Amino acid sequence: GAVVSQHPSRVICKSGTSVKIECRSLDFQATTMFWYRQFPKQSLMLMATSNEGSKATYEQGVEKDKFLINHASLTLSTLTVTSAHPEDSSFYICSARRAGGAETQYFGPGTRLLVL
C-alpha cells in the first residue's frame, strides 16, 4: 500500500495564532512531499514541494515566511501556518512520492482549517 496520514483532520483557531499540520507516509519512504491548498469547488493549488533534508521550493505567490515547511525525515513533513488570518481558511492536503519509485503522488486525507 501507500498510506499517507495527516493530522489534525480539522482545526479551528483564532486569528493571529499559528497552526501546525503534520503529514506522514506510513508504509513507505517519501523523498518528496507536496503541500496543496484547495478552496471550495476549485482545483488543487500547489503551494510548495519539500525534499527531505533540504529547503522547500515554494510556488509563486506563496509566502515562505507565512507557510513554514519542514521535511525532517523520509516519513514526515510539517506545514505551519503562522499568524493565521480568516483568508487562510482552506482545505490543506499533502501528498507524498515514494523514494526511488514511480511518479505517483499519494494524498493524505486533508486538513480543514478554519480561522475565526
Query: Which residues of the shown chain bind another protein in the complex (CB under 8 A)?
Result: 6, 42-44, 46, 49, 91, 93, 102-110, 112
**Backbone dihedral region of 76: left (phi > 0), alpha (psi from -120 to 50 degrees) or beta?**
beta
Residue 48 or 84: the one with the smaller Cβ distance to another protein is: 48
Q: How far is the CB of 99 from another protein (least distance, A)?
A: 14
| Residues shown for the chain | 116
Residue 3 or 116: the one with the smaller Cβ distance to another protein is: 3
Residue 83 or 104: the one with the smaller Cβ distance to another protein is: 104
Under 8 Å CB-to-CB from 36, ≥6 apart: which residues?
44, 45, 46, 47, 92, 93, 94, 95
Q: How far is the CB of 110 from another protein (least distance, A)?
A: 4
CA–CA distances in Å: residue 1 to residues 4, 26, 32, 106: 10, 9, 17, 10
Q: How far is the CB of 80 from another protein (least distance, A)?
A: 20
Residue 14 or 41: the one with the smaller Cβ distance to another protein is: 41
